Amino acid sequence: MLEIEVKARADHQQVKELLAGMGANFIGVQHHCDTYFNAPHRDFANTDEALRIRSVDGRSVMTYKGKKLDTVSKTREEFETEVDGGNARSILLALGFYESGVVKKTREIFKYGNMTICLDSVGSLGEFIEVEITAESDIEFHSKQIFSFLDKLGIGKEDSIRTSYLEMVLEK
């Protein structure tokens, strides 16, 4: 499964007004505590992979993201499974994986057609928008759709950020 995703900085107040005008559906708010792990046998900072346990309001999900598949969006191969967060962490640590960082954020989620729009407030990093389409293929087609949508929110292709929140947090 592919996650075709574009991220940019955004003024949430302004974006919410535009989303309301378009008739986008508000889905809900989530509080994420994301723990990222690195591997004992290769450095995910070099391979551009990610392994994460996300805790969302009591539930935990383990996600693997492969390296980015194109040069403009953040499209990656992605697999995820709900887990017992504490035990999944213990399994990873026992296998030699280690924690590389923690990202805490509040995510407001909207749906518009086949797109999921996330307005993320990430600790000291500020406000962001992530627009995602989940698909089996057709990266280019779906990327175009996302950029065309972002354009209506006043966000251009040149505003796209491919740096992960983890990288931004670690750079601070």
Only segment of 94-102, 105-113, 136-144, 151-159 that touches its own copies (CB under 8 A): 94-102
Among 20, 29, 95, 170, binds its own copies (CB under 8 A): 95
Binding to its own copies by CB under 8 A, coded x per residue (else -) over 97-136, reads ----------------------------------------
Of the residues 15, 24, 62, 118, which one makes contact with its own copies according to CB under 8 A = 62
Minimum gap (Å) between residue 37 Cβ and its own copies: 10
Map residue 58 onto helix, strand or coil.
coil
CB 100 within 8 A of CB 33: no
83: contact with its own copies by CB under 8 A = yes
98 is catalytic: no
Distance CA 167, CA 28 (A): 26
- 79 scored as a contact of its own copies (CB under 8 A): yes
Assign 3-class secondary structure to 81-95.
EEECHHHHHHHHHHC
